């Protein structure tokens, strides 16, 4: 679907750039693949929000006032397809981090952004969980855990 949209845009740009059009033959260009060295011109709202929450979590590291219960984003809860939302951290490292939230409202906000993101399968459910249990699970999975402090 993305390839046909790209072709349509290229065709439209070809038409607009010509002052006089008598006849033309559309050229189909292969879609460009993003690589680790590619520059991304824009970010999705999900990426923007993840970066914001990661910055808050990093600034909050070392704070000993973290709650015992936090909120995580769970996909397909209580099924064989159950999973949690992770993000790559640090960027382009190939390593995963679990964002956990001190405040339910922040977790809900992230869930609502993910729910409308076309690349995200399913709808994440904000779910309470013991922080100690999530820390142990992350250690076993070799993920980092980032605790997002309440924003309100």
Q: What's the whole-number mean pLDDT along residues 140-152?
A: 95
CA atoms of 151 and 134, how far apart (whole Å): 21
| Residues 10-34 pLDDT 10s | 433 343 444 443 343 444 444 544 4
C-alpha distance from residue 147 to each of 22, 28, 33, 65 (Å)? 61, 47, 33, 11
| Residues 41-79 pLDDT 10s | 567 898 999 999 999 999 999 888 889 999 999 999 999
The answer to whether 73 and 104 have CB atoms below 8 angstroms apart is no
Domains and CATH numbers, the chain: 1-32 (no CATH), 45-148 (3.40.1350)
Q: Does position 7 have pLDDT exceeding 70, yes or no?
A: no
pLDDT attached to residue 115: 92
pLDDT attached to residue 118: 85
Closest Cα partner for 149 from 90, 108, 107, 87? 107
CA atoms of 63 and 141, how far apart (whole Å): 24
pTM, 2 dp: 0.70
């Amino acid at each position: 679907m993305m390839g046909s949209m790209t072709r349509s845009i290229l065709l439209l740009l070809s038409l607009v750039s010509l002052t006089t059009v008598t006849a033309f033959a559309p050229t189909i260009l292969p879609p460009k693949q993003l690589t680790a060295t590619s520059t991304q011109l824009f970010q999705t709202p999900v990426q923007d929000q993840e970066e914001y929450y990661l910055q808050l979590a990093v600034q909050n590291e070392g704070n000993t006032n973290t709650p015992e219960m936090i909120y995580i984003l769970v996909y397909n809860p209580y099924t064989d397809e159950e999973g949690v939302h992770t993000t790559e951290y640090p960027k382009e490292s190939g390593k995963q981090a679990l964002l956990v939230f001190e405040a339910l409202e922040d977790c809900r906000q992230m869930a609502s952004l993910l729910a409308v993101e076309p690349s995200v399968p399913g709808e994440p459910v904000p779910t309470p969980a013991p922080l100690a249990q999530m820390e142990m699970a992350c250690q076993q999975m070799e993920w980092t855990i980032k605790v997002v402090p309440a924003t309100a």
